[in-house]
Structure 1
Amino acid sequence: MSRTTAEKRQAFRTLHEEGCFVLPNPWDVGSARYLASVGFKVIATTSSGFAWSNGRPDNGVSRDTVLAHLRDMVRATDLPVNADFENGFGKDPAEVAQSVRMAIDTGVAGLSIEDSTGDPASPLFPLNVAVERIAAARRAIDEAGGDTLLVGRAENFFAGRPDLEDAIARLRAYSQAGADCLYAPGIQTREQIEAVVAAVTPKPVNLLIGGPSAFTLAELEKLGVRRVSVGGALARAAWGGLVTSVQALAEGRFDGLPKEPSGTWLNGMFEDTK
């Protein structure tokens, strides 16, 4: 029996209360259904993976297109979906609130708001402005019932401003403004992770593992991390297979084409979705 939106949101919140879980990032309906089939309890969208599938760079897709994608992803499985909602698709807090309300209506269980501007000359919103944007998202969620999880993201390490002290100050401010979970994508070392976890406890922390890592999930749990996402890594894995096959094909060779997974296996994977 399929779960209601409220039930999925509650299940998602419960996952954040203890332990550490993997939050994999599919980029389309097919990859979402595959992840559900192997037992993951939740999925999250990836702005980069989805943008690449549309022939666009990360952060290069319109709000309407992203909202349609969120609706598709929510319908794809019975799992809670966390939305990578970029910087909230708004020039000011009022527009962020409007966009968040639209995202909530898609049925997502959670959504993240970044503090990045998209302007290389000034890549991060001033702290007071960024806080106002998180607070606006919080109000929009509360007005809609309050059960959608809000993630506050400090983009320092992704935006070319790798200042851990500033990132921590931002995360603390976002927590006070109503973020339920905190996230500083790009931190990598044990010391950075421990500092972020300590700074925002008891709020849960999301850690991005976007490539090969020596950490295990058990080790990250001991460090206090609550959830681990992989961003665009799975989409890049798929693109890696495509690039390898196409490069061989362009050279007149066919040895780069994969034997597995077979078309029969893939058809079987999606048989019950006809």
Structure 2
Amino acid sequence: MERQTQIELAQAFRRMHDRTRVLLLPNCWDALSARLFARRGFAAVATTSAGVAWSLGHADGEQAPLEDVLAAIGRIVRAATVPVTADIETGYGETPAEVAATVRAVIATGAVGVNIEDGMPGHGPLRDAADAVARVRAARAAADASGVPIVINARVDHWMQHDDTEPASRLADAIERGRAYLAAGADCIYPIGLGEPATLAALVRALDAPVNVAAGAGMPGLAELARLGIARVSTATRLTTLALAAVDQALARMRQSGNFDGLVADFSYADAQQLFEPDPT
């Protein structure tokens, strides 16, 4: 990708976080899903680390080799033709310097955003706040040095921790971390796993910055999320698992019935081929 084109995509993606409307961001797992989402009118797409890892034959949690993940991101960028933000989990590095190297490599694929988690790989315990801040700061410095104004979505993993932390203390520390990540160069805060409206509203008020939530059954709808001040909604692994569930059910029906009547879909070979024809617009 030409660097100027990438810069323009990054600037466009950044404008999508101006909080004038909710950015609905589907998470893809390969080039085909990315192409489908773009052709269905989504202004940008994200990757799901789990979906990408599974498609590469690995478990989630930074188990997929970074070079394979980078190659997959590059294919997604090429297929999508809209801004792509990449989930890089905890940054694929033990140190801030290694996180910076990962961010530089992701920018080289053509991506214009990253997610960085503040937990340990594989949804482990939260990092020390100072360490997490240093990693965000290193990511921003790497991006600034590249000249591509990527959007850094800093994940606050408090609601992924299945412990007995008192809710008020959890929220207070999440706010403190969110503010520190923003000061270090993050653009958006992602309290993954949080869906309770009053807590979301309190977080948004305290941060006064774009906040990302994960879509899912039981979450407030887009209209309610907009009222709460949410700037961005992503689908995490849910579209990947939805696709896998459809295939799994078709396989079960085929084995149980001995016939192939379940191998009928509203989406055909021709529909898939059409995704890769020149865009009529």
TM-score for both structures, normalised by structure 1: 0.91
Structure 1 vs Structure 2 CA RMSD: 2.0
Q: Residue deviations 1:205-261, cap 9 Å, x none?
A: 11111x223522222111111111001111111001011011122323434323322
Amino acid at match of 1:7: E
1:100 aligns with 2:107: no
Deviating beyond 4 angstroms after TM superposition, the runs of 4 or more aligned structure 1 residues are none
- SS where residue 113 of structure 1 aligns? strand
Partners of 1:8 and 1:80 within 8 A in 2: yes
Amino-acid identity (%): 40
Which of these residues, 77, 80, 86, is aligned with residue 80 of structure 2? Answer: 77
Aligned equivalent of 2:23: 21
1:218 aligns with 2:223: yes
Deviation at 1:92, TM superposition (A): 0.8
Partners of 1:158 and 1:186 within 8 A in 2: yes
Task: Give ranges in structure 1 of 5+ residues lacking alignment.
Answer: none
Partners of 1:245 and 1:258 within 8 A in 2: no
Aligned length: 269
1:175 aligns with 2:182: yes
Aligned equivalent of 1:53: 55
Q: Residue deviations 1:172-226, cap 9 Å, x none?
A: 211121111111100011012112211210x2111111x2235222221111111
Residues 230 and 243 of structure 1, relative CA distance in 2, 3 Å threshold? same
Partners of 1:28 and 1:50 within 8 A in 2: yes
Amino acid at match of 1:103: V
TM-score for both structures, normalised by structure 2: 0.89
Task: Give ranges in structure 2 of 5+ residues lacking alignment.
Answer: none
Aligned equivalent of 2:132: 130
Aligned equivalent of 1:116: 119
Question: In structure 2, what is the Cα distance between the partners aligned to 1:8 and 1:249?
Answer: 44
Deviation at 1:55, TM superposition (A): 2.9
Which of these residues, 21, 40, 49, is aligned with residue 38 of structure 1? Answer: 40
- SS where residue 57 of structure 1 aligns? coil
Q: Residue deviations 1:44-91, cap 9 Å, x none?
A: 011011122223221221211111111111111220001111111110
Which of these residues, 186, 189, 202, is aligned with residue 195 of structure 1? Answer: 202
Deviation at 1:119, TM superposition (A): 6.7
